[in-house]
Structure 1
């Protein structure tokens, strides 16, 4: 059977602080922070990178509809990067961010990857990965 969906358009992170999240993902992860106004007229924030987007919801002031139990620090996200993990480790060290694990071999959506793990300001687990030949 052919898949009924073909791509992930965006995800939503519920966060403790929009400002702290924007600073982390902009300065550490290299994403672009973007304020946008959907049809309902509300002011919202998103993080963009490549053709991907992460919408941000402030904990306690989430937009409807929302997850059944939105909570900061409940996500586990994997990001692909062409930048060598050794460069990432140095970059994270420059920002005083600990690497919790890695580099370690893992399996990604399209094959083998090598990953490092860290946490964002809410404690979400972030995996930064390079595609692997092995």
Structure 2
């Protein structure tokens, strides 16, 4: 698994502004430690976020991206709490069905195809 896999997938799959918001929200959930995805799925989602964070979302923009960058650079209890608060806020702005539809679309469209928890080439 590497960024090229995600980049290749993105070349064939247009994401909406709402999808960008969903990717941002998933990244917040990964960072606050509440994400229940496996390691490979988390890596794929982080790579997806990195590939699309420059694209405009409907609701979330530079403030969220700066916060995510700061949390990735230096994790602390205070930062995790702030990320948690922003994630909860983001999840209230996006409906649960929107997030479920986004995640289902990624699976159905093959973003995770052929990847397993045994994949040793995680980027």
Give the shorter-chain TM-score range. Answer: under 0.3
Higher Cα radius of gyration: 1
Greater strand content: 1
Q: Which has the higher contact order (CA 8 A, sep 6+)?
A: 2
Greater helix content: 2
